[in-house]
Structure 1
Amino acid sequence: MSIIDKLPYEWAVGIRYTRAGKRSARNSFISFISLISVSGIALGVAALIVVLSVMNGFQKEVTDRMLAVVAHIEIYDERGAMPDWQGAIKAAYQNSAVIGAAPFAETQGMLMYDGVMKPAVLRGVLPAEESKVSDVPNSMVKGQGSFDALRAGEFNIILGSELAKALALKVGDKVTLAVAPGDASAAASSPRMVNFTLVGIFEVGHFEFDSGLAFVHMADAQVIANLLAPAGVRLRLADLHQAPQVTQELARTMPGSLLLRDWSKHNPTWFAAVQSQKKMMFIILVLIIAVAAFNLVATLAMTVTDKQADIAILRTLGSSPRSIMKIFMIQGALVGIIGTAAGVGAGVLIALNVDVIIPFIERVLGMQFISKEIYFISALPSDVRWPDVCLIAAVSVGLAFIATLYPSFAASRVKPAEALRYE
């Protein structure tokens, strides 16, 4: 006796109807339609898992690379400079979530070399302290250990790889920085020119920073920006996701007139756009699953028509309309579960191997799908999140179950006498 024979008869009959019965043109066609339904559900589920995994990976990759440069929290003094930055750092460390702090100053200017000009954000740092709040000192591709070469008064500079490439610079070259006059009343006067020596090149993998950020010593940045003290301090947290909460806590506990900004406010439009795109893609691809799931309506309707004699016999043997309805609901649900399981398996497998599959397709087609100038990164990342996979599977099975209700109800309404009249 098989396992199926040990089940309640509604389950046994429903499972047997899921499998192909005796060969006939009609049964073969019903089996083909059922296979299309399973394949459609599997394809929709796999597509949804892959798309959401890629979008999750894209968001995570860009965020990680951005946070290699951007501090988790930035604190500014409303006066434009923070003379007591040591006291501010000490106060920030009173919060147990803060694990690193360093002062900084920023200004903007135009870098010029051999007739080429590129805009850049000039960030003044203390070389010994910068590794506490960013990963740039560990991301040097030229001039290893060159952060130590950023000494006060020597006007040395470190550039992003794309910025150095655009200016055709190499370590040791002299580059000129043009900055606007510090006095607002001198707006019409010529910009100030400062010569720097390139001592290192960094690459964090985020195009925005690699192409537009430069590091100098804090004292040199203060001279250029006409600041008497650092502009503020930058903080790193043990858990970056606590940044909004910690920002509110620090705003209440730190003294002085301060402005605080956490990393999620650095590019809020981008984060909001990604979240909106994820929601819209989920809705659109769920509609694909819904179309495939509702193919079950046609499949079950044809099965009900084909099995009217069986239904009549079951009714005459004492089966209730509820039992008949359960049989066809089990059949449809099994089709949905099989399709969902196949889609989850295929989707997770593809999502986990996107980094291999996409480069292969790009080589075959001779094209690049991701431009780092637009998307900040050049490779397609993937981050499979199991809560998303479980949600997709639940939605798929739920839609398949809903699709079984009407055909199953129609089967329960079959009248035995009419069904057997022409048998």
Structure 2
Amino acid sequence: MSTTQPAADPGPFSRFEFLVAWRYLRARRRDRFVSVIAGLTLTGIALGVAALIVVTSVMNGFNSEIVSKLLGLNGHFSAYPIEARFTDYEQSASEIQGVDGVIAAIPYVEGQALASGAKADATGVIVRGMSLASVEKLKLLHDGAILGHWDGWDEGNGVAIGRRLAEKLKVNIGDPVTLLSPDPGNLGAGNRPRTRSFPVQIIFDLGMTEFDSFYLYLPMQPAQDYLDMFDRVVKPGASVPAVDAPEQEREAAYDRIYRATAVEVFITDPNALDQMRLRIGQQIERPLILSDWRQQHQNFFDALQTQGSVMFVILSMIVVVAAFNIISSLIMLVKDKGTDIAVLRTMGATRGSIMRIFGIAGVAIGVGGTLLGLALGLVIAANAEPIRAFLSGLLGVTIFPPEVFFLSSLPSRTNPSEVAAIVAVAMGLSFLATLYPAWRAAQYDPVEALRYE
């Protein structure tokens, strides 16, 4: 007498469960609407993941580019004098340069003025004086010259201006730029504002609007003369001239002792600010105030960090909404497949098997959308600037104008750890979204489902 052996249990996540889940996701005539909803849900997840990857990459590139530009021209520290005037700036810069961990120490003078060209109105500029030796240490500035050259910079009397400032003033190499710098202390005595013209020797393009539009560089001594950055000391053996004496006579009676505004300090490790501040303070006798780049630009970087966090949260809502769409699409699928669930149960499918079938269907939507969004986001992030330029030309509108975003191009830098976190969060939400609909499907009573069939 032969006996029929029961069919072997295929076990969890068997080929049978995957085949049924895939069949339920395929678009057929009767349940095409459910498959369209699943496709739209997949698209929503893909767009959310891609948007998150693109935004985080652009924000990372923006922060990195801003920091590199700022630290390419401004030091990690700015050393300002305490009490006494900064007439010993060369000796102080030399001592700071000798501190272990310091790359360069660059003295400079700085002031504000109004600049005007022969064919344009005046605009505010920041006048900064530097020697050629200091400029050569600033590779970003030295290599950023697109017109003119730095040869004979110290011996000349020309200026270096940014490309955008040159366009604003409508000047080119050799054209005069007139600087007007009122001194409030002298205007009360009836004196005129300081006005002087300098020929344009160099036009540079640093790729950052702030520097290309507002900075004007002069050789060190002409800048000190123009900005009155010197003290007058009576020459040995000379007498103090009368107040109403001619200007040439007054000038001949004095020696000029030049001073600087500060010394820019560049260090090897931008993150070791506290250690380097302590080290410089211990090894330099001259009392100096060391203001680091985080203190100088704290509000700016805090705003960037806040903006990035807010953008991340807002765009994350796209993925959350798509995850809720997984719930709704699976619930619709469960309602549509009620009879199929009852038949499978009568054929021996367990509640766990039914739950896994619909769980596989939901996770497939989430994983597919996440992987599609990952590929799309990485492609867009890697080609952010060409895409921006193409859309700007196509629409005739400047997308991400440099006057607002400080940079002349749209940078992008993808962080693998952030991308991995985005993918993990998207897949985790997709998995959680499938639990309730799959559990509901497993609770179907086959008798009730087949009663009216």
Q: Which amino acid aligns with 1:214?
A: L
Which residue, out of 279, 286, 299, partners 2:316?
A: 286
Residue 47 of structure 2 is aligned to residue 43 of structure 1: yes
Q: Which amino acid aligns with 2:96?
A: A
Change (3 A) 1:88 1:24: same
> Match for residue 102 of structure 1?
106
Which residue, out of 428, 436, 440, partners 1:410?
A: 440
Q: Which has the larger radius of gyration?
A: 2
> Identity of counterpart residues, as a percentage?
33
Deviations 1:75-94 (A, max 9, x none): 11133743333443354345
> Match for residue 161 of structure 1?
163
Q: Which range moves more in the overlay, 82-91 or 350-359? A: 82-91
Deviations 1:292-329 (A, max 9, x none): 11111122212323444554566567665445434432
Residue 305 of structure 2 is aligned to residue 275 of structure 1: yes
Q: In the TM superposition, what is the alpha-carbon distance from 1:338 to its structure 2 partner?
A: 0.9
RMSD: 3.0
Q: In the TM superposition, what is the alpha-carbon distance from 1:337 to its structure 2 partner?
A: 0.8
SS in 2 for 1:19: helix
> Match for residue 123 of structure 2?
118
> Match for residue 239 of structure 2?
none
Q: In the TM superposition, what is the alpha-carbon distance from 1:344 to its structure 2 partner?
A: 0.5
Deviations 1:186-233 (A, max 9, x none): 476321233433322222121221122111222222233333322221
User: TM-score normalized by structure 1?
Assistant: 0.86
User: TM-score normalized by structure 2?
Assistant: 0.81
Q: Which range moves more in the overlay, 195-204 or 174-183? A: 174-183
Q: Which range moves more in the overlay, 207-216 or 250-259? A: 250-259
Residue 380 of structure 2 is aligned to residue 388 of structure 1: no
Asked if the contact 1:56/1:382 (under 8 Å) is kept, the reply is: yes
- Structure 2 Cα separation of the partners of residues 405 and 80 of structure 1: 72
5+ residue gaps, structure 1:
1-5
Residue 432 of structure 2 is aligned to residue 369 of structure 1: no
SS in 1 for 2:69: helix
Deviations 1:157-210 (A, max 9, x none): 222222233223333333332223374684763212334333222221212211
Residue 180 of structure 2 is aligned to residue 175 of structure 1: no
Q: In the TM superposition, what is the alpha-carbon distance from 1:254 to its structure 2 partner?
A: 4.2
Q: In the TM superposition, what is the alpha-carbon distance from 1:42 to its structure 2 partner?
A: 0.8
- Structure 2 Cα separation of the partners of residues 198 and 29 of structure 1: 69
SS in 2 for 1:294: helix
- Structure 1 Cα separation of the partners of residues 296 and 390 of structure 2: 35
> Match for residue 352 of structure 1?
382
Q: In the TM superposition, what is the alpha-carbon distance from 1:247 to its structure 2 partner?
A: 4.2
- Structure 1 Cα separation of the partners of residues 186 and 432 of structure 2: 68
SS in 2 for 1:393: helix
Residue 58 of structure 2 is aligned to residue 54 of structure 1: yes
- Structure 2 Cα separation of the partners of residues 217 and 106 of structure 1: 11
- Structure 2 Cα separation of the partners of residues 188 and 386 of structure 1: 64
Residue 87 of structure 2 is aligned to residue 83 of structure 1: yes
- Structure 1 Cα separation of the partners of residues 10 and 270 of structure 2: 52
- Structure 2 Cα separation of the partners of residues 314 and 176 of structure 1: 88
Residue 198 of structure 2 is aligned to residue 196 of structure 1: yes
- Structure 2 Cα separation of the partners of residues 188 and 281 of structure 1: 54
Q: Which range moves more in the overlay, 132-141 or 321-330? A: 321-330
Which residue, out of 127, 133, 140, partners 1:135?
A: 140
> Match for residue 3 of structure 1?
none
Asked if the contact 1:107/1:225 (under 8 Å) is kept, the reply is: no
Change (3 A) 1:173 1:299: closer
- Structure 1 Cα separation of the partners of residues 424 and 376 of structure 2: 16
- Structure 2 Cα separation of the partners of residues 78 and 210 of structure 1: 32
Question: How many residues are matched?
Answer: 415
Q: In the TM superposition, what is the alpha-carbon distance from 1:248 to its structure 2 partner?
A: 5.7
Change (3 A) 1:408 1:180: same
Change (3 A) 1:122 1:101: same
> Match for residue 208 of structure 2?
206
